[in-house]
Amino acid sequence: MIKPAIFLLATLLLTVASYAQQVTSDLPALQITGLDGKSFSAKTLKGKTVIVMYQPDCDHCQREATQIQQNIASFKAYQIYFVTTATSAEIKKFAAEYKLNTSRNVHFGTTTLGNILSTYGPVETPSLYIYSADGHLVKKFNGETDIQVVKKHL
């Protein structure tokens, strides 16, 4: 009776350990096209990463962009990706208006609504996702969030 129980426990532990090794990243397989026209998957991003889902004409997103720009030094260890379904012209205007286009660690890209829905499901804008250097989700914020709250998780 004890031998089968030990065998079952050992098998369970090996299965869990094997699964844990397979799960290497929480970064989504979200397809993004950068302003340079090159497409990539968010899953391939390296280092500490922040993904901000936004819309340029969203007043909550505009306030969050202002807060991020005013606190950009707090994000120096992160690559920040602003991702939207808007056009390149709208993205460039937003980046310039909120003075985010001069920071080397801030990137802009576009994706489709279908990609967002299949990756994250329905999300409020802005939504901000913080990932560790090894790609694990540290914290997500859905909807406008005070920058002081965000900074506690960086």
Chain segment 80-138, per-residue pLDDT in tens: 999 999 999 999 999 999 999 999 999 999 999 999 999 888 999 999 999 999 999 99
**Nearest 10 degrees: CA dihedral of 52, 55, 59, 61?**
0
All structural domains of the chain with their residue ranges: 25-151
The strand ranges marked E within 4-92 are 31-34, 39-41, 49-53, 79-84
Does 1 have pLDDT greater than 70? Answer: no
- Could you tell me which of 153, 142, 151, 149 has the C-alpha nearest to residue 52? 142
**Which residue type is seen at 17?**
A
Q: Right CATH number for 25-151 from 3.40.30.10, 3.40.50.300, 3.60.15.10, 3.20.20.70? A: 3.40.30.10
* CB contact at 8 A, 75 and 81: no
- Could you tell me which of 138, 136, 131, 139 has the C-alpha nearest to residue 23? 136
**Average pLDDT of span 57-67:** 97
pLDDT-derived band of residue 22, with 50, 70 and 90 as boundaries? very low
Assessment of whether the complete model's pTM goes beyond 0.85: no
Does 11 have pLDDT greater than 90? Answer: no
